[in-house]
Chains A and B, each alone.
Chain A
Amino acid sequence: MNRLWARVGDVVAVIVAMIGAWLLWSAYSTAAATASFYTRLDRIKGLNEAALPNADYDLHTLPWKVASAAAFDLTSTALRVVTSAKPYDYQAFATIDTKHARTADIVFDSDIQAGGATIGFVQNGKWIVSNSATQSGRFADANTVNLGRDPSLTVVVANDNAAGESRFTIRSLRVYLRR
Chain B
Amino acid sequence: MFGRATRAVIAIEFAFASLLIVYAGLHDVRDVLAGAPPASPVEIRAVCDAADSTLPCEALTTRLGPGRYRIWTTAPARALSVSLTPERPERARALLLRSTGAHAAVAGSTGVDLNGHRAVVPIEPERRIDVTVTTASAIPSAIALDEIGVYPDARGLTTDMRPFFRAIPPSLYHQTLVPRAVAALCAVTVIAVFFLPSLAVRRWAPYALPVLCFSLCVVDLSALFSPYVTQDLRAMYASGPLQEAPGSNLNGGLYQATRLLAGKGLTTREGVVPWERMPGYGLLCGVAAVLFGHDSLVDVAVSVVLMQAIFYSVAVGVFAWAALRLFTPPCVWAVGLAIAWLPKEIGYAQVDAVIGPTALLVLAALCVRLSHERDRDVPLRVDVAVHLAFALWFVMRPDVLPGWFVVAIALHWQHPRRLLLPATLLVAIGVAWGAYKARYTGEFSMTTTSVGASLFCGLWEVPSRFRLGGPCTDAVYFDWIHQHTPFEPRSTAANSFATREVLRFWVTYPGHLLIMLYGKMMQVLNGDLWPGLATQLQVWVFGVVPRYAIVLPLLTVVAVCGAIGYQRRRTLLLGWPLFLNAPLFWVMFASLGRFYSAVGIALLAAAIPPIYEPAFYKAIAARPWRAAAIAACAAVFAVSAWPIYDWLLRNDALHYWTPLLNPAASPLAGLR
A interface residue numbers (CB < 8 A to B): 6, 9-10, 13-14, 16-17, 19-21, 23-24, 26-27, 30-32, 34-39, 42
Beyond A13-B195, A35-B165, whether A20 also contacts B10 by CB under 8 A is: yes
Q: Which residues of A contact B2 (CB under 8 A)?
A: 10
Q: List 30 A-B contacts (CB under 8 A).
A: A10-B6, A13-B3, A13-B6, A13-B195, A14-B6, A16-B194, A17-B9, A17-B13, A19-B188, A20-B10, A20-B188, A20-B191, A20-B192, A21-B9, A23-B185, A23-B187, A23-B188, A24-B16, A27-B180, A30-B180, A31-B165, A31-B168, A32-B165, A34-B168, A34-B177, A35-B165, A35-B168, A38-B169, A39-B167, A42-B167
What 0/1 readout, one digit per residue, does chain B (208-234) give for beta carbons within 8 Å of chain A? 000000000000000000000000000
Which residue on B lies nearest to A35, using beta carbons? B165
Q: Which residues of B contact A31 (CB under 8 A)?
A: 164-165, 168, 177, 181
Q: Is the CB of A16 within 8 A of B10?
A: yes
Helix, strand, loop or mixed for chain B's interface?
Answer: helix
Q: Is the CB of A34 within 8 A of B165?
A: yes
Alpha-carbon distance A36/B164, docked complex (angstroms): 11
Residue B550 at the A interface, CB < 8 A?
Answer: no
Residue B184 at the A interface, CB < 8 A?
Answer: yes
A-B contact count (CB 8 A): 72
Residue B629 at the A interface, CB < 8 A?
Answer: no
Besides A13-B3, A19-B188, 10 more A-B contacts (Cβ < 8 Å) are: A13-B195, A16-B194, A19-B191, A21-B9, A27-B180, A30-B181, A31-B165, A31-B177, A34-B165, A35-B164
Q: Count residues of chain B with CB under 8 A from any CB of chain A.
A: 28
**Most A CB within 10 A of own CB, among B169, B194, B195:** B195
The A-contacting residues of B in range 136-181, CB under 8 angstroms, are 164-169, 172, 177, 180-181
Which residue on B lies nearest to A36, using beta carbons? B167
The A-contacting residues of B in range 1-29, CB under 8 angstroms, are 2-3, 6-7, 9-10, 13-14, 16-17
A46 to chain B, nearest CB (A): 12
Helix, strand, loop or mixed for chain A's interface?
Answer: helix
Which residue on B lies nearest to A27, using beta carbons? B181
Q: Is the CB of A24 within 8 A of B185?
A: yes
Q: Is the CB of A23 within 8 A of B184?
A: yes
Q: Which residues of A contact B10 (CB under 8 A)?
A: 13, 16-17, 20
Q: Is the CB of B191 within 8 A of A16?
A: yes
Alpha-carbon distance A24/B165, docked complex (angstroms): 16
A103 to chain B, nearest CB (A): 14
Q: Which residues of A contact B184 (CB under 8 A)?
A: 23-24, 26-27
B216 to chain A, nearest CB (A): 15
Q: Which residues of B contact A20 (CB under 8 A)?
A: 10, 13-14, 17, 188, 191-192
The list of the 8 closest CB pairs from A to B, nearest first, reads A38-B167, A27-B181, A20-B13, A35-B165, A39-B167, A10-B3, A13-B6, A17-B9
B18 to chain A, nearest CB (A): 12
Which residue on B lies nearest to A41, using beta carbons? B167
Q: Is the CB of B177 within 8 A of A21?
A: no
The A-contacting residues of B in range 438-466, CB under 8 angstroms, are none
B23 to chain A, nearest CB (A): 13
